[in-house]
Amino acid sequence: MVTAGRSAIEAFLRRAPYLHVYELGDLDPREAAHTTWIANEPVDAVVLLYRGLSIPTIIALAEGDPAALCALLAANAGALPPQFYAHLSPGVEAALEPRYRAELLGHNLKMGLASPVAGRADEAIVRLTPQHAGEAVEFYAESYPTGYFEPVNLERGPYVAIRDDHGIAAIAGVHVYSQVLRVASLGNIATRPDARGRGHARRATGALCRLLQAEVDVIGLNVRADNAAAIACYRAVGFDVRYAYDEWRVTRS
């Protein structure tokens, strides 16, 4: 399934780091047990199968013409799990037919931090640890029930929160984090429903970026294309839109 070496895969992904921030982060040696890489030599496309969460995820993204990526995915479709989530460049889902049935979960954008976030440390920000897992699970159940938070996320990278008199008001965390590859992708950014409209998400996101930018060179995030409020929030922090992709729930036919 993999004929290309790790260095060749990394070199290919580095050509578009904000498109491939997830894959770059998952090249971290600590993720080796959770990852399967699909790539030919010479590398003209890369597919990542990530098994680190309860349901596997496939990432197959192309910066330009997706023909090579579609051919690679179609050739290896028989080796994929019976059910998985997928992050795919538009049109790449066709490569999974007829073996799989795909349900579109949403159109999304990849954003990248254009310049470092300035400012002093925000004293209202607290760092979350695995000891806060129960509280975080309750927060996300109320504030972001469609998200993908699992307690293990708190062990894989930094999460920060703002508290108020009612508990956690907002959280910003990471889906991908690697000091070795010097990349991070923010995720699970949410505000408690009764605390919205007060700038908490922007403050938490900015604080997390200030923390991360001392450790990594590439900071990205994914956001639904129809979430105008979130896009405006991230633009206010310093992110701009780089790429479009789609998220799918895929099941073997």
Q: How far apart are CA 142 and CA 169, in angstroms?
A: 11
Strand bridging mode 159-164 / 125-128? antiparallel
Domain ranges of the chain: 6-109+248-252, 125-237
Q: What is the DSSP letter of 2?
A: B
Other beta carbons within 10 Å of 100: 19
Tell me, what's the pLDDT at 194?
95
Give tens-digit pLDDT for 118-142: 888 788 899 999 999 999 999 999 9
pTM over 0.85: yes
**How would you list the strands of the sheet with 239-252, edge to edge?**
35-38, 47-50, 57-60, 83-88, 239-252, 100-113, 218-224, 183-191, 167-178, 159-164, 125-128
Does residue 98 have a cis peptide bond before it, meaning omega lies within 30 degrees of 0?
yes
CATH topology of domain 125-237: Aminopeptidase (3.40.630)
Tell me, what's the pLDDT at 3?
65
Q: What angle do CA 144, 138, 104 make, to 5 degrees?
A: 30
Give tens-digit pLDDT for 36-58: 999 999 999 999 999 988 899 99
Q: How far apart are CA 229 and CA 13, in angstroms?
A: 30
Contact 68, 165 (CB under 8 A): no
Give tens-digit pLDDT for 67-104: 999 999 999 999 999 999 999 999 999 999 989 999 99
Tell me, what's the pLDDT at 54?
84
